[in-house]
Amino acid sequence: MSEFTQGIFTAFIPALIVSIITAYVTVKLSMKQFYSERWWEKKAEAYSHIIEHLSYLQYYFGEWFSEGLHEKELTEKHKEKLSEGYRQARESIIKAAAIGAYIVSDDTATVLAKLLRELEKEDPRGDWVGDIDGCYGSVKECITKIREYAKVDLLKK
């Protein structure tokens, strides 16, 4: 092998090795960033759905509270629509609480589980307007806490 060919190989082999290592590291870092961004998107979507369903629960209890105070009369069709929306929102909150800290923070899962327990409570005197008012307040408080937890959780990457 000539000295010229040997010089080319001597310069080429280290450059080839550096290129391969650089390409490998670049791909690994790009994949890590991609997965991190996808995970962040899943978290943001989960928090968005939770807030959406909690907002519906707040609306639901507000409507029934107005009915209980005789501020407005709900039609049967509106009552059915409210009840169906409540059922769907509650099921979604139950799922979010069950999935828990897999996607959202531990604090979020804890607050959702606490809310679900509070929604089951009934006034021993049978004061359903008071029950609705209590549920409304619990949902409102839960929304405030979830927003705080979401801000913290979504700022972490």
Phi, psi of 156 (to 5 degrees): -80, 135
The answer to whether position 147 is within a domain reads: yes
Q: What is the pLDDT of residues 63-105, one digit of tens each?
A: 988 888 778 888 899 999 999 999 999 999 999 988 877 888 8
Question: If you average pLDDT over residues 99-118, what whole number do you get?
Answer: 89
6-20: pLDDT as tens digits? 777 777 788 778 888
- Using DSSP's 3-state secondary structure scheme, residue 70 falls into coil
pLDDT of 41-57, one tens digit each? 889 999 999 999 999 99
- Going along the chain, which residue ranges are E strands? none
Residue 56 lies in a domain: yes
Q: Is residue 9 part of a domain?
A: no
| Residue 68 in domain | yes
Which of helix, strand or coil describes residue 157?
coil
Report if residue 52 sits inside a domain.
yes
CA 24 – CA 126 distance, rounded (Å): 68
User: H helices within 69-127, ranges in order?
Assistant: 76-99, 106-120
CA distance 78 to 81: 5
Residue 96, in any domain of the structure: yes
Does residue 17 form part of some domain? no
- Total domains present in the chain: 1
Domain housing 101: 39-155
